[in-house]
Amino acid sequence: MGIDFSQMRHGRRVPKLNRPPDQRRALLRGVTTQLLKHGRIKTTRARASAIRKYVDKMITLATDGSLHKRRQALGFIYEKQIVHALFAEVPDRYGDRNGGYTRIIRTLPGEGTMHPWHILNLFRDLNFE
């Protein structure tokens, strides 16, 4: 009776981030809000990869600029001022770009844990010099 029949997770690409679903969603919303507010954040690789999806979605919503898209963004991002600023400046900055609004840069390992940190930032300049 002690047999555990766990199903394999083939094709299930939801990053768990070692949190229950409600905490995971709050973490993703909070870090997405902070990235859009500050332009760059320092985090782990797993979080950066998970957050990238939601940041790109918010920027894609802002490129359309309709009222429905604005309300969808207001339902996800915690701060209303960030949504208004996002919808004001994104069409000019990223209007001709089709995705890929963020990049992940690996940095030196942290002190004590030697765990590598990553910087997730938004593309400001579209010139790759």
Task: Work out the widest C-alpha separation in the chain, in whole angstroms.
Answer: 63
Torsion sign over Cα 15, 20, 26, 30 = negative
The answer to whether residue 30 sits within a structural domain is yes
In the chain, the percentage of residues whose pLDDT exceeds 90 is 67
**Is 6:65 a contact under the CB 8 Å cutoff?**
no
Which residue range is the domain that position 77 belongs to? Answer: 20-122
Separation of alpha carbons 59 and 80, rounded Å: 15
In a domain, 128, yes or no: no
How many separate domains does the chain show? Answer: 1
- What CATH number has the domain bearing residue 95? 3.90.1030.10
Tokens, residue 54? 């939601």
Task: Give percent of the chain above pLDDT 70.
Answer: 91
Mean pLDDT estimate for the chain: 88
Q: Is residue 7 one of the residues assigned to a domain?
A: no
Q: Is residue 129 part of a domain?
A: no
62 lies in a domain?
yes
Q: Which two tokens stand for residue 49?
A: 């990869």
Asked, for residue 24, whether it belongs to a domain, the answer is yes
